[in-house]
Amino acid sequence: MTVDLTQKERSLLANQRNHERLCVQKYNDYAGRASEQALQELFTGYGSQERDHYNTISGLLQGESPHPAGPQGMLDAPDIPGIADSAGILGKAGATTTNLQDATLCSDALMTERFVSSSYDEAVFDSIDPALRQALQHIQQDEQRHGEGILSYMRQNGMYIPE
């Protein structure tokens, strides 16, 4: 079964696909630049999920019907309790240069996830087909879980100190 997209849906999906492409590039780059193995693995895993998002949206743009349960092949991110608002991202006294580089990568990735997640709002609201809307909501939730995972890593490693 194929899905017929409106011109607006097509435009919004094209924008989201561009965002996902950038996320894949960033996470692949950041995985190679991160100093800690745990952070390298986090970025590598998120890069893989972003590639799945890119492929899902590319399929939608080609008229493929969305999967009712959302995009396939997604890794489930763990639920991370206690995530607070991130106002004071860099601020651990005595942080090393390596730690500051990783903190900068995390801060940028978190900012990217915030933007990408919020950019899905319009696409979700303007999707006519319920299955398309559900697929986009699933991707948006993945983006939010990525942000939670990054913020949790930052908190655990002294890169985030709430005010």
pLDDT tens, residue by residue, 57-99: 999 999 998 875 444 443 443 333 332 333 343 444 444 555 8
- Residue 101, amino acid: Q
The pLDDT of residue 99: 82
**Of 70, 84, 51, which is closest to residue 138 (Cα–Cα)?**
70
- Residue 161, amino acid: I
How far, in Å, are 12, 119, 125 from residue 15 at the CA level? 5, 9, 15
The pLDDT of residue 72: 45
Assess contact for 138 and 70: CB atoms under 8 A. Answer: yes
- Contacts with 17 (C-beta within 8 Å, 6 or more apart), sequence order: 54, 57, 58, 61
Token readout for 123 is 């696409």
How far, in Å, are 61, 126, 132 from residue 123 at the CA level? 13, 5, 9
**Percentages helix, strand, coil for the chain, rounded to the nearest 5?**
65, 0, 35
The pLDDT of residue 96: 53
Which pTM does this prediction carry? 0.81
The pLDDT of residue 106: 97
Location of structure tokens 């990525």: 146
* Domains of the chain, first to last: 7-156 (1.20.1260.10)
In 10 A of CB 69, how many CB atoms? 11
Q: Splitting the chain (163 residues) into consecutive groups of 10 residues, what average pLDDT does each group show?
A: 87 97 98 96 98 96 76 39 34 56 96 97 94 96 97 91 73
Residue 64, strand partner residues: 2
